[in-house]
Structure 1
């Protein structure tokens, strides 16, 4: 998975809402990674298939995250976009859509190979839920992109 992360795709954002986040990230990624229809597809997919996850169920002290993604035909390059929010952003919990989670981090899988989507999504979820707690805590303590890139 780390081969999909580049420092240019690690963002520290101050977007107050999920809609503002999707607008900002879509504008930023539009030319390099995703098709113009990506923004609306992200919003629609998130409404239908919430992507928030509680990592404190994995280990105490871990933040809530979200793992939104697009269908392959809307993606130009396979990459993992990492976003840390200055202020948590509300996402629905993928395990219980009636529950709203304050999310601190987003790991957005951009996969240009649709046939590999389930495998890559499973790898991402495994990395975020089965890595040693100390390693995950170091990742989430990162304050600049270069620290994240090296994890």
Structure 2
């Protein structure tokens, strides 16, 4: 990881701390560590993978602690859950509500978040036509990334 990568991660952690404090929530050291670990991974990570990494510096870390922290980070929009793989990925633009679409590489596990406003509009229109109100939308598409296609 380059110095620029570390600076970017530090900047995002700082922004996350400010974001939480502005909302009246504490961004504890544990929350910061887990959010930082997700940022470092760059892709989706399971809770037990996070626990194993966390135990390298926090020997008394337990699954319940990791899950509570993940719940907090999800609630504040700092991370997303990839339902199909039961893994978590950091969100880099957590200060806005947005529809989420993920491109998930089944070969290497890379997860790319994209935003397609047209897709959201189409879904909202179709849902409305049957009397349904979409509150939250996450779409997961599985396939292979450009690196694995080569």
TM over 0.5: no
1 or 2, which has the higher strand percentage? 1
TM-score by length of 1: 0.29
**Bigger Rg over Cα:** 2
Answer 1 or 2: higher relative contact order, Cα 8 Å, separation at least 6: 1
